[in-house]
Structures are given as structure tokens and as C-alpha cells.
């Protein structure tokens, strides 16, 4: 199963458990999602604060991830952060479509799209 599929499946299970008041298993599914994000999504190389999953903004047909990018100037000094949401939605043609919000400083959205696609498309 691909990373984004596993997260969507766990989110569906999490929401089903919440609806049936099965808090123990809802917590287990939530912890699994958090673990997948911390162990299987990018960290470092500018994505220095890791990636957080937004349970409040996500549903099984829309996954929302929160991240920041730490930019460097031409001399190699850090010169600020940009905050981004990585939003995945189903696509009949491509499995998912990705939209990245936030300021596109130094065309960072193209880079983030490539980086995140490589992680979301991995088997776990």
C-alpha cells in the first residue's frame, strides 16, 4: 500500500471508531498516522520542522499536511521560513492531485511537490 493510501485508510478507520465511541482504537489509528508522518515523510533539507497531519482539516478524500520550509540565501545563510499546506485529493487519472498553499518564495512549491510526491508514492 502506498503511503498516502495507508494514511487515508487509517483516517477512515479513525473516523469510524470515533463515530462508534471506540476511543481506544480511534487513538490507535491516530497514533499510527502520526507515526507514519514522522517516520515516512520528509524531514531535513529545508523541511526542518518535519510534517504534521491535520486531523481537523482532513477526511478520507482530502488529506492535509502542514509543514514549513527553511530557506537559504546564495551565501548559504538561513533567511526565513515559509509555511505550507500539502493537500492531496483523489484523481481518477493519477491516483491523487496535490495542491500546495503558501508563499512560493524561490519557486519552492515545485521543489516541495517533487519531494512530497516521492514520499507519498512509496510502499509502506
Predicted pLDDT at 62: 98
How far is it, in rounded angstroms, from Cα 57 to Cα 8?
A: 13
* Residue linked to cell 485529493: 89
Predicted pLDDT at 51: 97
CB 69 within 8 A of CB 47: yes
Predicted pLDDT at 6: 97
| Per-domain boundaries in the chain | 3-120
How far is it, in rounded angstroms, from Cα 80 to Cα 7?
A: 30
Is 63 in a helix, a strand, or coil?
strand
CB 84 within 8 A of CB 67: yes
Beta strands in the chain (DSSP E): 51-53, 63-72, 78-91, 95-100
Predicted pLDDT at 87: 98
How far is it, in rounded angstroms, from Cα 32 to Cα 108?
A: 29
How far is it, in rounded angstroms, from Cα 54 to Cα 20?
A: 21
CA contacts within 13 A on the Cβ side of 85:
13
Contacting residues for 113 by C-beta, under 8 A, at least 6 apart: 98, 100
Predicted pLDDT at 118: 95
pLDDT, averaged per 10 consecutive residues of the chain (124 residues), comes to 96 98 98 97 93 97 97 91 97 95 96 96 94
Amino acid at each position: 500500500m502506498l503511503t498516502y493510501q495507508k494514511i487515508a485508510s487509517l483516517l477512515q478507520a479513525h473516523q469510524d471508531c470515533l463515530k462508534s465511541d471506540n476511543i481506544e482504537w480511534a487513538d490507535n489509528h491516530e497514533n499510527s498516522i502520526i507515526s507514519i508522518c514522522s517516520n515516512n515523510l520528509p524531514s531535513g533539507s529545508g523541511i526542518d520542522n518535519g510534517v504534521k497531519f491535520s486531523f481537523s482539516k482532513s477526511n478520507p478524500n482530502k488529506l492535509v499536511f502542514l509543514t514549513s520550509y527553511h530557506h537559504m540565501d546564495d551565501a548559504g545563510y538561513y533567511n526565513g521560513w515559509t509555511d505550507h499546506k500539502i493537500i492531496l485529493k483523489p484523481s481518477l487519472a493519477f491516483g491523487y492531485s496535490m495542491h500546495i498553499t503558501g508563499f512560493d518564495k524561490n519557486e519552492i512549491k515545485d521543489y516541495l511537490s517533487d519531494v512530497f510526491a516521492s514520499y507519498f508514492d512509496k510502499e509502506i
